[in-house]
Structure 1
């Protein structure tokens, strides 16, 4: 059985991508689900694939369902279409669009075909992650969940020793206490 390896690029930043492996007899619905998992997206929205060429032009549509729109040709359905039937080129490309309101677009490129199935892998599977993925419903800090661990470990919520709060500058202190003498070193920087 052929194992297909696809690289799924986030369209807006090609340094962000995920590599997935899938059997050629599995469906586009399986590919759709593993892409969502790879990018930490939910599965609540409409989605479609387009067969593509080397210039990323949209061709035949392979859709999650038939949507209320005009089609040049009736779309194939993801659950009924195996991936192997749509591979016409050793570097076959597809465009994947998820959530038509947000229009998340990914470029899906076949990068390897193997005859050897790895018994340790459950297909489909994510085998490589590069770059920080977009956040489906809003902004995500560059550090994401890791920042919470850092914040907890070093307690970044408290002011660090030697640093005052905003507005506690030395110039303000001398203006407020002009002409006064300090008897102790408590507030002197």
Structure 2
């Protein structure tokens, strides 16, 4: 089977690539296809992350195991595309170059039969140019207390002042 996948760079502008690739390919082969499609050298660290429908990041699938003890991290070369990308879970997050944090949203668009004589992976469509530097990430504050707020009363903070 052939997966048709859209890979979208996390930017305000539309920058994406549509790739078709064999479902049985490894995530490492898919990683190589993405780096080539976007014009990266492919020499930086990268990871895929499983996620839910709202793009909430879950399990990491790394290019290399960087732990000293050989952890339980799944590796791209040991994981096939159809193990993590299915009709029921059609989304992944892909991060390339952890110093620059190029972040992409990966979504399965269609599953089709393999065409004889067509080479895979294959770039179906390319839209937008990769910027010279990765887009800046804007993080929202999780705190509801502003720095200028007065903390004259500790009664509402729900802690035991005699904790020790």
TM-score of the superposed pair, with normalisation by structure 2: 0.74
Name the structure with the higher helix share.
1
Paired with 1:113 and 1:47, the residues of 2 have a C-alpha distance of 25
CA distance 1:3–1:66, shift in 2 (3 Å):
same
Structure (1 or 2) with the larger CA radius of gyration: 1
Specify which of 126, 130, 138 is matched with residue 129 of structure 1: 126
Which residue does 2:154 correspond to in 1? Answer: none
Which residue does 1:106 correspond to in 2? Answer: 104
Paired with 1:103 and 1:92, the residues of 2 have a C-alpha distance of 22
1:133, CA displacement in angstroms? Answer: 1.8
Which residue does 1:64 correspond to in 2? Answer: 63
Specify which of 90, 110, 116 is matched with residue 92 of structure 1: 90
Paired with 1:14 and 1:90, the residues of 2 have a C-alpha distance of 28
Which residue does 1:27 correspond to in 2? Answer: 26
Deviations 1:22-43 (A, max 9, x none): 1111000011001001100101
Which residue does 1:49 correspond to in 2? Answer: 48
Paired with 2:12 and 2:30, the residues of 1 have a C-alpha distance of 21
1:132, CA displacement in angstroms? Answer: 1.6
Is the Cα contact below 8 Å between 1:90 and 1:110 reproduced in 2?
Answer: no
Is the Cα contact below 8 Å between 1:27 and 1:78 reproduced in 2?
Answer: yes
1:123, CA displacement in angstroms? Answer: 1.1
Paired with 1:93 and 1:120, the residues of 2 have a C-alpha distance of 29
Is the Cα contact below 8 Å between 1:62 and 1:76 reproduced in 2?
Answer: yes
TM-score of the superposed pair, with normalisation by structure 1: 0.65
Is the Cα contact below 8 Å between 2:47 and 2:62 reproduced in 1?
Answer: yes
Paired with 2:105 and 2:55, the residues of 1 have a C-alpha distance of 8
Structure 2: state its 5+ residue gaps: 135-164
Two-structure CA RMSD over aligned residues (Å): 2.3
**What is the aligned length?**
134
1:120, CA displacement in angstroms? Answer: 3.6
Is the Cα contact below 8 Å between 1:27 and 1:81 reproduced in 2?
Answer: yes
